[in-house]
Amino acid sequence: MLTYEKLDFNALNRADFLKFVEIEQNCGLDDPYPPELIFEILEAMDNFVCRADGEIVGFIMMSPKSHYLHGSAYIVNINVAAPWRGQGIAKKLILMACRHYLKTCPEGYMSLDVVKTSRARALYRKIGFGETVIPSRNGPSDLVMAAPMKLLEKNLIRLTEA
């Protein structure tokens, strides 16, 4: 059974931390985040997880402030363990984050950096993100995508209930 929750950093245990590291190391990118950076992000950001029988199988790491758009939340990292991909977990994690930030920033946007060649771009487009002309801080291999959180919530509800 899959469950979703906002992670309490103070309750983070070693097994959960190691699951974050494992999922990130197997994400398919050439430069996954090292464990030290994962720990720093977990401590400083808002994090939401999906668990299968208590074990983390997906996560989204969020900053309440985007360095790209004023009044926006920023997806720092989103990842789902390979055996669990394609089951709507990323969509539900984004919806959960959306709902969290809509409480404090109802007119806000959500933004992210994505590798131009990533298959995830299709998912982001499908749920309402659009490519911007804002240059990515990660360099020319990435692009910035953004969407109004109200639109994301509406699209994600439709997609997750279908």
Give pLDDT tens digits for 117-133.
Answer: 988 999 999 999 999 99
The string of DSSP letters for 83-111 reads: GGTTSSHHHHHHHHHHHHHHTT-TT-EEE
- Token pair for residue 50? 């999906």
pLDDT in tens, 49-107: 999 999 999 999 999 999 898 889 999 999 999 999 999 999 999 999 999 999 988 88
Two structure tokens written together for 102: 């809509």
Domain coordinates of the chain in residue numbers? Answer: 2-161
Query: CA nearest 69: which of 145, 121, 159, 162?
Result: 145
Question: Residue for token digits 């401590």?
Answer: 43
pLDDT score, position 146: 96
- 161 pLDDT above the threshold of 90: no
Secondary structure of residue 16 in the 3-state scheme: helix
Percent helix, percent strand, percent coil in the chain, to nearest 5 = 40, 30, 35
pTM of the model: 0.93
- CATH T-level topology, domain 2-161: Aminopeptidase (3.40.630)
Distance separating alpha carbons of residues 38 and 9, to the nearest angstrom? 12
| Own/partner long-range contacts of 85-88 (Cβ < 8 Å, ≥24 apart) | 88/159, 88/160
Q: What is the pLDDT of residues 9-49, one digit of tens each?
A: 999 999 999 999 999 999 888 889 999 999 999 999 999 99
What is the C-alpha to C-alpha distance for residues 69 and 148, in angstroms, rounded to an integer?
11
pLDDT computed for residue 160 by the predictor: 75
